[in-house]
Amino acid sequence: MPSNLLIDGQDDLIEIKLFYRVKKNNAGVRQFVVLDEEKGKKAIEDGDDSVDCLITKWSPQTWQMNNNLLKQSMTYNKISGNNEVDFSRYQENVFRYCLKEWDVTDTNEVPIPPTPENIGQLPAAIAQTLIRLYDTTIAIDQEEKKE
């Protein structure tokens, strides 16, 4: 009999770490550069204060969640006359329903919850990379398909 098949708790959360560097450009605007894990860890070990690590925890997609994400991401295309997935809306919904925790704090070290409003304030490079990393963790790669 199948056991341990249902996804329903903290044990199933997916931890994603994102290393990034913050630099100011010539105009004094903060720029965020995503680093791979090896470079990020090394920079932090070497005491590079411009590098930090964002730790996030995500729900894997259950059948019900996946269906709801797709339904809530549909839009009507007037030209084709069909309903289609709006990719931007889908990404927003993945953040809204799958991102459960992060270690973001304010300047006083008070935790900031991952609400849709707070997620919307992430730098685009950080948000896009988080979505890509999440998608990568829930996908089956070619080697896993062979098993």
Q: How would DSSP label each residue in 76-118?
A: EETTTTEEEE-HHHHHHHHHHHHEEEE--B-TTS-B----HHH
Q: Where do we find the tokens 């084709």?
A: 80
Give a yes or no: residue 140 inside a domain.
Answer: no
Q: Is the dihedral of CA 23, 27, 28, 31 positive or negative?
A: negative
Closest residue by Cα to residue 87 from 52, 132, 44: 132
The tally of domains found in the chain comes to: 1
Domain that holds residue 20: 13-134
Residues 31, 125: Cα–Cα separation, whole Å? 9
Alpha helices (H) along the chain:
37-45, 63-72, 87-98, 116-119, 124-138, 142-146
Phi and psi dihedrals of 106, rounded to 5?
Answer: -85, -175
Residues 75-134 have pLDDT tens digits of: 999 999 999 999 999 999 999 999 999 999 999 999 999 999 999 999 999 999 999 999
Tell me the per-residue pLDDT of 24-83, one tens digit each, with 9 for 90 and over: 999 999 999 999 999 999 999 999 999 999 999 999 998 999 999 999 999 999 999 999
Task: Give the CA dihedral 43, 45, 46, 49, nearest 10 degrees.
Answer: 60
**Any domain includes 31:** yes
Establish if 109 belongs to a structural domain: yes
pLDDT of residue 88: 92
**Cβ neighbour number for residue 92 with a 10 Å cutoff:** 19
18 within some domain? yes
Asked whether residue 2 is domain-assigned, the answer is no
Residue 143 inside a domain? The answer is no
